[in-house]
């Protein structure tokens, strides 16, 4: 099998973003995933979100690990560099890449296997460093690419296609991220583009590590009776807690919010996230309360979705390091070396 280039047909009528680019300019190569795979819907949402934000394609760096989910970085924003790392180690590639150039938008795509098993350590430390990236988990409760073994996010009692029942408790990436101090924590569903697109946009604009756990059913290995990550199951147990709308600095808020139902979070770039609370008691800026609420709902078997927690105050990686504004991969060599005189000075204490 070879690489399948998408035919490029320009429709003059297609809507353009502020850069004069159409959605087609944000697509990648043709997906080779199973027809109906949830991951493809996430890809479509990313295309929509990046197009909507009018980010130059080359300003996007796409990073992933290994798995069906990790393949998808090839399927969006073909004008940006992609890096398919080794299984579970994308966060370290991201750490280095972000260290080298703080000016790009980094989109990491991973799977529940990639993140919660082999890559659990790297995931935790990327959160701890608060590197400035959007990290999407396409969570299907199975290892898709290796044909359907349970992943660490499979629920107790969940049944595999071949019949065995999972008896181990799941790792919940959202709870994990909250306890690790993640500064942007969201959950969504691949089938809910309306919720997902603004979340991706908000995550991209967030300064620091933005996690979106996207329930993304595997139609081949995890979409049967007894599976808790099937389309039907997720739809039925879906509870939207806060609806987030990303509003760019220059744009008007077009949605009308009843007073008391909406709060605003101002992002560092001047944009805003408008949060429409579906549950009046919910406070997405309070980590402890978010955790409690989430745990309570989980006990009732409900997936809380939406923007669950946001903290715009904690410094991200480069702020902690106090790195120069100019991306360090662009600093001219002359500024980096102390020269021959400097060497003599340094070496004087070794005489």
Partner 1 sequence: MLHAPDAQTRVNDFVLKLANVNGTGSASANALVLKSIFRMGVPVVGKNYFPSNIQGLPTWYEIRVTRAGYAARSGHVDIMVAMNAETYARDLKEVSPGGYLLYDSTWPRPALLKREDVALFGVPLARLCNETFEGVRARILLKNIMCAGVLAALLDIDLDIMRTLLGETYASKKALLDANVRALEMGHAYARAHLPCPLPLKVAPLPGELSRTAGHIMIDGNTAAALGCLYAGATVGAWYPITPSTSLMDAFRSLCEQWRVDPETGRRDFVVVQAEDELAAIGAVIGASWNGARAFTPTSGPGISLMNEFIGLAYYAEVPAVIFDIQRVGPSTGMPTRTQQCDLLLAAYASHGDTRHVLLFPADPQECFYMAVAAFDLAERLQTPVFVMSDLDIGMNDWMCPMLEWDESYRPDRGKMLTLEEIESLDKFHRYVDLDGDGIPYRTLPGIHPKGAYFTRGSGHTQFGAYTEDAAEYQQVVDRLKRKFETAKTLVPQAVFRGCDGRDAAIVSLGSCDGAVCEALDVLARRGIHLDYMRVRAFPFGPEVEEFLATHARIFVVEQNRDAQLRSLLILETAVDKRKLRSILHYSGLPISSSSIVDGVLAELDTLAPVRSAVL
Ligand X SMILES: Cc1ncc(C[n+]2csc(CCOP(=O)(O)OP(=O)(O)O)c2C)c(N)n1
14 binds partner 1 (CB under 8 A): no
| From 25, 112, 245, 311, residue interacting with Mg ion (rule: CB under 5 A) | 112
Task: Give phi and psi for 150, each to the nearest 5.
Answer: -65, 145
87 vs 59, 157, 321, CA distance in Å? 25, 27, 28
Which residue stretch of 45-53, 85-93, 197-205, 208-216 sits at the interface with partner 1 (rule: CB under 8 A)?
85-93
Shortest gap between Cβ of 216 and Mg ion (angstroms)? Answer: 8
Joined together, the tokens standing for residue 200 give 């991706």
Positions in the binding site for ligand SF4 (CB under 6 A): 33-34, 37, 39, 68, 140, 144-145, 218-221
Judge contact between 63 and 93, C-beta under 8 A.
Answer: yes
Task: Quote the CA–CA distance of 227 and 240 in Å, as a whole number.
Answer: 21
Shortest gap between Cβ of 84 and ligand X (angstroms)? Answer: 11
- Tokens 């009843």 locate to 258
Question: Is residue 157 classed as helix, strand or coil in its secondary structure?
Answer: coil
143 binds ligand X (CB under 6 A): yes
Which residue stretch of 164-172, 181-189, 244-252, 334-342 sits at the interface with partner 1 (rule: CB under 8 A)?
334-342
Task: Quote the CA–CA distance of 87 and 109 in Å, as a whole number.
Answer: 12
| From 28, 52, 57, 67, residue interacting with ligand X (rule: CB under 6 A) | 67
According to CB under 8 A, which residues from 24 to 83 bind partner 1? 29, 56-59, 61, 63, 73-74, 78-83
Shortest gap between Cβ of 31 and ligand X (angstroms)? Answer: 13
42 binds ligand X (CB under 6 A): no
Task: Quote the CA–CA distance of 132 and 102 in Å, as a whole number.
Answer: 8
64 binds ligand X (CB under 6 A): no
Query: Cβ closer to ligand X: 69 or 227?
Result: 69
| From 57, 144, 203, 306, residue interacting with ligand X (rule: CB under 6 A) | 144
Task: Quote the CA–CA distance of 197 and 183 in Å, as a whole number.
Answer: 19
Q: Are strands 105-111 and 133-139 parallel, antiparallel or unpaired?
A: parallel
Choosing among partner 1, ligand X, Mg ion, none, which partner's interface includes residue 145 (Cβ < 5 to 8 Å by kind)?
Answer: ligand X
- Tokens 């479509």 locate to 44
8 binds partner 1 (CB under 8 A): no
Shortest gap between Cβ of 343 and partner 1 (angstroms)? Answer: 5
Q: Which residues contact 126 (CB under 8 A, 6 or more apart)?
A: 91, 92, 94, 95, 133, 135, 209
| From 145, 234, 241, 265, residue interacting with ligand X (rule: CB under 6 A) | 145
Q: Where does residue 199 rank: exposed (0-12), middle (13-18), buried (19+ CB within 10 A)?
A: buried
146 binds ligand X (CB under 6 A): yes
CA angle at 192 for the pair 189 and 196, rounded to the nearest 5°: 75
Joined together, the tokens standing for residue 114 give 């990639």
Shortest gap between Cβ of 84 and ligand SF4 (angstroms)? Answer: 15
Judge contact between 235 and 159, C-beta under 8 A.
Answer: no
Task: Quote the CA–CA distance of 57 and 34 in Å, as a whole number.
Answer: 26
152 binds ligand X (CB under 6 A): no
Query: Cβ closer to ligand X: 94 or 145?
Result: 145
Shortest gap between Cβ of 255 and ligand X (angstroms)? Answer: 33
The closest alpha carbon to 68, from 273, 240, 219, 257, belongs to 219
Interface contacts to Mg ion, rule CB under 5 A: 111-113, 140
Interface contacts to ligand X, rule CB under 6 A: 66-69, 87, 111-114, 138, 140, 142-146, 151
Interface contacts to partner 1, rule CB under 8 A: 1-3, 29, 56-59, 61, 63, 73-74, 78-86, 89, 91-101, 103-104, 121-122, 124-125, 129, 318, 321-325, 328-331, 333, 335-340, 342-343, 346-347, 349-351
């Amino acid at each position: 099998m070879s690489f399948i280039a998408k035919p490029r047909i320009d429709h003059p009528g297609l809507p353009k973003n502020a850069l004069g680019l159409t959605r087609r300019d944000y697509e990648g190569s043709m997906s080779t995933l199973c027809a109906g795979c949830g991951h493809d819907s996430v890809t479509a949402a990313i295309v929509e979100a990046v197009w909507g934000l009018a980010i130059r394609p080359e300003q996007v760096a796409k990073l992933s690990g290994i798995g069906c989910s990790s393949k998808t970085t090839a399927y969006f924003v073909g004008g940006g560099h992609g890096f398919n790392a080794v299984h579970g180690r994308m966060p370290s590639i991201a750490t280095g890449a972000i260290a080298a150039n703080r000016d790009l938008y980094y989109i990491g795509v991973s799977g529940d296997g990639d993140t919660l098993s082999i890559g659990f350590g790297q995931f935790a430390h990327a959160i701890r460093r608060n590197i400035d990236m959007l990290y999407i988990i396409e969570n299907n409760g199975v290892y898709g690419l290796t044909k359907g073994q349970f992943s660490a996010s499979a629920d107790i009692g969940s049944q595999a296609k071949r019949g065995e029942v999972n008896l181990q408790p799941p790792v919940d990436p959202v709870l994990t991220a909250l306890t690790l101090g993640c500064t942007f924590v969201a959950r969504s569903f691949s089938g809910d583009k309306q919720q997902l697109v603004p979340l991706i946009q908000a995550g991209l604009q967030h300064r620091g590590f933005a996690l979106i756990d996207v329930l993304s059913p595997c139609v081949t290995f995890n979409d049967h009776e007894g599976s808790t990550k099937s389309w039907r199951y997720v739809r039925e147990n879906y509870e939207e807690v806060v609806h987030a709308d990303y509003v760019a600095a220059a744009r008007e808020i077009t949605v009308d919010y009843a007073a008391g139902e909406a709060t605003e979070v101002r992002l560092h770039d001047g944009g805003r996230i408008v949060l429409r609370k579906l549950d009046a008691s919910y406070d997405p800026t309070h980590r402890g309360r978010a955790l409690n609420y989430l745990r309570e709902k989980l006990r009732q078997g409900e997936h809380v979705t939406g923007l669950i927690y946001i903290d715009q105050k904690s410094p991200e990686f480069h702020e902690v390091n106090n790195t120069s504004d100019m991306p360090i991969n662009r600093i001219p060599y002359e500024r980096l070396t102390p020269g021959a005189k400097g060497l003599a000075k340094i070496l004087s204490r070794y005489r």
